[in-house]
Chain A
Amino acid sequence: MRSFDVPEPDYDRYTNRQLLAVPLVILALALLVVGANVFLIGAPAPLGIEFTGGTELTVDTTDDVSTIESAFDTEPTDIQTSQTQSDRYFVTFGPEAGDGDTSLQEQANEQLEPSQEGGDVVQGVNTFDATFAENTQQLALIGVVVAFLGMSVIAFALFRVFVPSVAIVISAFSDIMIPLALMGLVGYELSLGTVAALLMLIGYSVDSDILLNNHVLRRGTGGDFYDDVYRAMHTGVTMTVTSMAAMATMAIAAFIFGIPLLLAIGTILFVGLAADLMNTYMLNVALLRWYRFDGVNR
């Protein structure tokens, strides 16, 4: 008894050009958004306080948002309300806040009414120094670049033929760029958590690409190209959909519970995995078909 089966698209009806068009246009759009953001704000997506410096306070108070806004010497840059606890707020400040005589914590404790009689207002503090944050930004960039290069080298080492290896690399690149562009569009901040998710996408993305390439190239059954693709799809789509189910669940639960790190990782991975379905079974398949029927004969 199966509740879902993997569909078998009729690849014969589409030319390689048609198959390539959709993922490449979407990649181009994503690059446009990311490029525009780099040009406008100097980063592919808005940067969180881990990368810019600043403070985030978690406060439990009976006061409302406007009272919180005016409670500090420096005005908060952002105030978010918890989904599960109505009296819990996440208050964000720029890097220069709290440098005065009284710390932000002290200001919060003095100015705001605790939600529990005699309890603490400030439940959590995260402060990132601006110079340190800049360093973190560089390290994260190095990390992402090294990870991506490492993955590319492995991809070439595994298959040792140009087109299929490049297919893996382009696909992984697009899997990262699409969620990154979406983040920029909806104003979702880059944090250490989202960078981790983007890197994790490399791992997930390559899984299904390697599987497809392996079925078509290495298995050497000499059989029908489409049979090979469908077999790889059966496994690959199952894998990706399972991961997407896990990530969607994690994101929703983390959203309800107010755990930003898990929400960030879940959301990015879900979007990236959806992009991976498109990239693997349109872009990658088209490149492999071209390689198999046209590329090898030259």
Chain B
Amino acid sequence: MSLLGRIRTNWRILLLVVLLLASMFFLFVPGAPITGAAADSGGSNNATAAVSNIQFGIDLAGGARISAPPHGYIATDVQVTDQNDQAIKQAITNTTTAEEEDIVTSVAYGSRSGFPSDAVEVRADVERAAFLQGLQNAGLDVQNGDIRHGVSKYTLDEIIATVDDRLGETGFGGSTVTRAQSPNEPRDRVQIESPGQTIDGLKNLLDSQGEVAIVAYYPGENGTGAQNETLLTQEDFEAGSVDTEGPRPAVPVTLTQSAAEDMTQFMQESGFAQGSTNTANACNTNDLQPGEYCLLTQVDGETVYSSPLSPDLANSFIDGSFTDSRQFIVEAPDISTAQDLLIDMRAGALPTTLDFDESTEEMVSPTLAEDFRRNSLITGLLAVLAVVLTVFARYGDPRVAVPMAATALSEVVILLGFAAAIGWAIELSHVAGFIAVIGTGVDDLIIIADEVKAQGEVTSQRVFQNRFRKAFWVIGAAAATTIIAMSPLAILDLGQLRGFAIITILGVLLGVAVSRPAYGSILRSLTTDSNRRS
């Protein structure tokens, strides 16, 4: 037979071999063009197995996963206009614990993508009934059914982006933030996955809203008492990196032009700049005295540090040269506070906090993950061995059994290669999926082998083709049912079940399209060749 002829008759085997080689490349060649988190971060922070490009998920690599809903309620289908906007906010602050800045409406947000055109959203941990009462007090026609426990898609996206930035700034490498797959069921959820971290570590990072404000503390109108004025929030400046050279750790910031002008105007008109040059002031963070002129650094309304204006800075406000430099430094009591400040400044504030009382959490320590990794591998290998031994015991003929075991294993290798290529992190449930794939795979191979060997020896290509086609009807039918049975799980948001279902479906598709026909071809060349020779 010519080479071309051989290729034509054995193209199925060839396709399997090509896929196998490609998988081996993606699995084992360092620097193979893989996508995903490992590629993004140079693989340094990721739990990649030492000998391969396979990435592992939380339960096989160690780390934490939290899925938590955001605090807040949204009322839709309400008549909110420029005229009643302020009154609505006022009414809600009267009935709930929310502050005015926690309430957003379609008047300001309606044009933003993902925010409804007729909604009022409260971004705080409030009571549903109190929110409803506030809306009704404002004269709106709202029923309980118009209110949903959750936030708009716009706000949810904002939360996800902020959490993502915050994780990035903290150096929680390889972390991912996504919205839970099924929205509003029963509440929106934000899902955070972080390799190598603990639940407590993640919660510490996420439980604050992270709203940084620079507040002026200065004497009241008649020179007595004290008053506060918020000058800057983190949208008004760019933060540099933590500077530990000076007497105190500090974060240098550069203001936007308009913020610098507003701040200079305040400093001049309120007499703050003048006042701070005239008075000796201590500005003790825990013991502020009336009459002092201090700049307070606040996070979520809590003062973390306070300091007087330096004489140089005060003068630059007085002569207006501050609008050119636009720079000053925000001091902190210690390095860790400075670093936290920097993270909040750069990542921005969360629109609302996350409700950890209704969260779903998973944490696996590196030790436990290593146990899982090793033991699930051994378990999988033992299961495969059991399959191979049973097949040998049943057929006795290595010409049938050896290719059968090899074909079934090749399906797993190709799936693993695929997972490595697209940067898919392998979880424990996937391992169960792989074992299921081997199980259904071998089932189908047994059908092919029995069909081909039944009714006497295979004497010609035509007889073989005929029998193979008959066997394939059963295989196709069985594959269709397995895929139908697994597809709801692959779509529904059922955690680890999804991975299991997706692997099983992919395995069945791969098996029907490539490896099981290839096994037929192998069997044919083995059986017909030997007949020709004898």
Across the interface, which residues of B come within 8 angstroms of A120, CB to CB? 365
- Whether B446 and A239, one on each chain, are in contact in the complex, defined by CB atoms closer than 8 angstroms, is yes
Are A231 and B488 touching (Cβ within 8 A)?
A: no
- What is the total number of residues of chain B having a CB less than 8 Å from a CB of chain A? 78
Within the complex, the shortest CB–CB distance from A288 to chain B, in Å, comes to: 15
> Are B379 and A235 in contact (CB-based, < 8 A)?
no
Nearest chain B residue, comparing its CB with the CB of A242: B390
Q: Does A189 contact B (CB under 8 A)?
A: no
Minimal Cβ-Cβ distance residue in B for A235? B450
B-contacting residues, A120-150, CB 8 Å: 120, 122-129, 131-132, 134-136, 139-140, 142-144, 146-148, 150
Asked if A131 and B186 make an inter-chain contact with CB atoms under 8 angstroms apart, the answer reads yes
Q: Does B16 contact A (CB under 8 A)?
A: no
CA distance A249 to B497 in the complex (A): 22
B84 at interface by CB-CB < 8 Å: no
- Do A105 and B390 touch (CB < 8 A)? no
Cα of A126 to Cα of B365 in the assembled complex, Å: 12
Given the contacts A143-B488, A203-B485, A124 and B394 also touching, CB distance less than 8 Å: no
Answer whether A150 and B484 are a contact pair too, CB < 8 Å, given A139-B492, A253-B382.
yes
B361 CB contacts on chain A under 8 angstroms = 125-127
Residues of B within 8 A of A136 (CB): 494-495
How distant is B446 from chain A, measured CB to nearest CB, in Å? 5
Q: Is the CB of A246 within 8 A of B438?
A: yes
**Interchain CB contact under 8 A, A214 and B365:** no
Q: Indicate with 1 or 0, residue by residue over B431-473, a CB within 8 angstroms of chain A CB atoms.
A: 1100110111011001100110010000000000000001001
Q: A181 to chain B: which residues have CB within 8 Å?
A: none
List A residues 190-221 near B (Cβ within 8 Å).
Answer: 192-193, 195-196, 199-200, 202-204, 206-207, 210-211, 214, 218-219
Of the candidates B379, B487, B493, the one whose C-beta lies within 8 Å of that of A259 is B379
B481 and A202 form a contact (CB under 8 A): yes
Please judge, given known A-B contacts A204-B443, A210-B481, whether A246 and B387 are in contact too, CB under 8 Å.
yes
* CA–CA, A264 and B429, complex, Å: 11
B428 near A261: Cβ-Cβ < 8 Å: yes
Q: Are B390 and A241 in contact (CB under 8 A)?
A: yes
Residues of chain A within 8 A of B447, CB atoms compared: 211, 235, 239
Q: In the complex, how many angstroms separate the beta carbon of A21 from the nearest chain B beta carbon?
A: 28
Across the interface, which residues of B come within 8 angstroms of A235, CB to CB?
Answer: 446-447, 450-451
Q: Are A2 and B496 in contact (CB under 8 A)?
A: no
Question: Do A192 and B439 touch (CB < 8 A)?
Answer: no
Residues in A whose Cβ lies below 8 Å from that of B487: 147, 150
Is B362 a contact of A126 with CB atoms below 8 Å? Answer: yes
**Quick one: closest B residue to A231, CB to CB?**
B454
**B200 close to A (CB within 8 Å):** yes
8 A Cβ contacts from B378-394 to A: 378-380, 382-387, 389-391, 393-394
* Closest B residue by C-beta to A208: B443
Q: Does B376 contact A (CB under 8 A)?
A: yes
Known A-B contacts A124-B364, A214-B473; A132 and B488 likewise in contact (beta carbons under 8 Å) = no
A266 to B271, CA, bound (A): 77
Residues of A within 8 A of B485 (CB): 147-148, 150-151, 199-200, 202-203, 206
Enumerate A243-276 residues with CB–CB distance to B below 8 Å: 243, 245-250, 253-254, 257-259, 261-262, 265
- Is B383 a contact of A246 with CB atoms below 8 Å? yes
Whether the pair B488, A147 counts as a contact (CB closer than 8 A) is yes
Tell yes or no: B215 within 8 A of A by CB. no
B474 at the A interface (CB under 8 A): yes
Instruction: Flag whether B396 is at the interface (Cβ < 8 A).
Output: yes
Q: Could you tell me the distance in whole angstroms from the C-beta of B236 to the nearest C-beta in chain A? A: 37
Judge whether B443 and A239 touch: CB under 8 Å: yes
Per the bound structure, the CA–CA distance linking A204 and B486 in Å amounts to: 12
**Residues 348-369 of chain B, each 1 if its beta carbon lies under 8 Å from chain A, else 0:** 0000000001111111110110
Q: How distant is B473 from chain A, measured CB to nearest CB, in Å?
A: 7
Are B495 and A192 in contact, with the CB atoms below 8 A?
A: yes
Known contacts A204-B440, A211-B474; is A2 also within 8 Å of B481 by CB?
no
Q: Which residues of B, 505-534, contact A by the 8 Å Cβ criterion? A: none
User: Are A200 and B504 in contact, CB atoms less than 8 angstroms apart?
Assistant: yes
Complex Cα–Cα for A247 and B383 (A):
7
With A249-B386, A261-B432 known as contacts, the answer to whether A132 contacts B360 (CB < 8 A) is: yes
Q: A242's contact among B359, B394, B429, B450, by CB below 8 Å, is which?
A: B394
Identity of the chain A residue whose Cβ is nearest the Cβ of B508 in the assembled complex: A203
A17 to B210, CA, bound (A): 73
The winner among A127, A245, A246 for most chain B CB atoms within 10 A is A246
Q: Does A4 contact B (CB under 8 A)?
A: yes
Please determine whether A143 and B489 come into contact, CB atoms closer than 8 angstroms: yes
Residues on the A chain within 8 Å of B500, using CB: 196
Bound-state Cα–Cα, A77 to B477, Å: 45
Residue in A1, A158, A199 whose CB lies within 8 Å of B396: A1
In the bound complex, do residue B496 and residue A123 qualify as a contact, i.e. CB atoms below 8 Å apart?
A: no
Q: Say yes or no: A259-B200 contact (C-beta < 8 A), given A147-B486, A238-B394, A247-B439.
A: no
**B379 touches which of A50, A239, A253 (Cβ 8 Å):** A253
CB-defined contacts of B493 to chain A, threshold 8 Å = 139
Min distance, Cβ B504 to any Cβ of chain A, angstroms: 7
Task: Say yes or no for B109: interface residue by CB 8 A criterion.
Answer: no
CB contacts under 8 Å to B, within A40-72, are 50, 58, 60
Residues of chain B contacted by A117 (CB below 8 angstroms)? none
- B494–A139 contact, CB under 8 A? yes
Residues of A within 8 A of B359 (CB): 127, 129
Q: Do A262 and B484 form a contact, CB below 8 Å, given A123-B365, A204-B440, A249-B386?
A: no
A147-B489, A250-B382, A254-B379 provided; 10 other pairs, C-beta below 8 A? A124-B363, A131-B358, A132-B358, A143-B497, A147-B488, A207-B443, A211-B474, A246-B390, A246-B438, A247-B439
The 8 closest A-B pairs by CB, nearest first: A203-B482, A257-B375, A150-B484, A249-B386, A125-B363, A3-B393, A253-B379, A235-B450
19 contacts between A and B (CB under 8 A): A2-B395, A50-B495, A103-B199, A135-B186, A147-B485, A147-B489, A192-B494, A206-B478, A207-B478, A210-B477, A210-B481, A211-B474, A235-B446, A242-B390, A245-B389, A246-B438, A257-B378, A259-B372, A265-B436
